[in-house]
Amino acid sequence: MDTFPGLSFNTGKKMNLLFRTFYNSFGKIIFSTVDKIILYDQSTKKFANSVGISNKKIEVIPTGVDSKILQKDRDIRKEFNIDRDEKIILFIGVINVRKGIEMIIKIAEKLKDEKIKFILVGDSSKRKHYEKVVKLKKLDHMIIFTGFRRDVHNFYHAADLFLLPSKGEGLPGVLMECMLYGVAIVASDIPGVRDLIINNYNGYLCKNQDIDGYLNKIKILLTNNTKKRLFIENSKMYLTEKFGWNDKISLYDELFKF
C-alpha cells in the first residue's frame, strides 16, 4: 500500500467517510487475511497502525529508481517558444485537485511579472477546467499544459525547478526522477514526500497551503545557484544510498522466503 486516503490526506467529507468505512469493514477482513503488508515509506506506518494493522505484518520497502539517465532528444524551449532567459518551473503528474494544481496557478499569479514559465505535464478529465481557469486569469502566456507525454526526460533536462504542492502522496516516483536528473525541488511537507526530501538538505518542504512559503523557496532556488547545486548534489547521494532498485529487489527476494 502506498497511502491511506482519508487518513494520510483529506479527500473531502464524503470520500473520507467512504474510505474510513472501507478500512473498518472490508479493509479489516483483507488486512487480517494477508501475511504481510508492504508500505512504501515510514511516514505511512502510523496510518496503517490506526486502521488496525500490526507492526508484525508491516514491511517498509520503498520503490526505487533506475539509475539510467535518458539523453535529451527534443528541445523543450524551442518546442514551446521559451526564451533562454526565462526560468522553467516544472510539474509532472495527474492534473487534479489532490496534486495541488490550484496552488500552482495561485503561485503563477503572484509571479506573473517575472520571466518564468510553468510547464504542467500530464492529463486528466480536469485538465480542460484548469485551462479555462488559467485563461480567465490571463495566465495562459506563462502556464503551459502539455497533456500526456512519453518524453518526460526532455522536460527534466529543461527544468530549472520542480514544484509539487500536492495534498497527498504515496512515495512520489516523480521526485525520485527529479533527484536523478538533477532538478531542484520545492514540495509540500506531507507523508511520503518527507521520506524523499529533507528540508533544507536536498530540497525545500512547505506547509501545504502556505503560498508565501512556496513563493519564498521558489525565489531562493531560482536566484541562489550555490544553494541549488548543493540540493542537487545531496539529492543524488541520498537517492543512490536509499532508493537503488537492486537493493529493493533483494528485499523483495527475502520477503517471499518467509
Domain assignment of residue 249, yes or no: no
Question: What is the distance between the alpha carbons of residues 166 and 78, in angstroms, rounded to a whole number?
Answer: 29
100-104, 135-139, 239-243, 253-257: least confidently modelled range: 253-257
Range of the domain at 36: 13-60
Question: What is the distance between the alpha carbons of residues 215 and 222, in angstroms, rounded to a whole number?
Answer: 11
Residues 210-230 pLDDT 10s: 999 999 999 999 999 999 999
Residues 124-173 pLDDT 10s: 999 999 999 999 999 999 999 999 999 999 999 999 999 999 999 999 99
Instruction: Examine the pLDDT at 244 and tell me if it is beyond 90.
Output: no
Question: What is the distance between the alpha carbons of residues 143 and 105, in angstroms, rounded to a whole number?
Answer: 8
Question: What is the distance between the alpha carbons of residues 14 and 19, in angstroms, rounded to a whole number?
Answer: 9
Residues 78-125 pLDDT 10s: 999 999 999 999 999 999 999 999 999 999 999 999 999 999 999 999
44 shares a domain with 158: no
172 shares a domain with 103: yes
22 shares a domain with 100: no
Domain assignment of residue 184, yes or no: yes
138 shares a domain with 90: yes
191 shares a domain with 158: yes
What is the domain count for the chain? 2
Instruction: Examine the pLDDT at 258 and tell me if it is beyond 90.
Output: no
51 shares a domain with 127: no
The answer to whether the beta carbons of residues 82 and 117 sit under 8 Å apart is: yes
4-8, 56-60, 63-67: least confidently modelled range: 63-67
CATH number at residue 123: 3.40.50.2000
Domain assignment of residue 56, yes or no: yes
pTM of the model: 0.93
195 shares a domain with 116: yes
Contacts of 36-43 spanning 24+ positions with Cβ under 8 A: 36/255, 36/258, 37/1, 38/1, 38/255, 39/1, 39/2, 40/1, 40/2, 40/170, 40/171, 40/192, 40/195, 41/170, 41/171, 41/191, 41/192, 41/194, 41/195, 42/195, 43/191, 43/192, 43/194, 43/195
Question: What percent of the chain has a predicted confidence (pLDDT) above 70?
Answer: 100
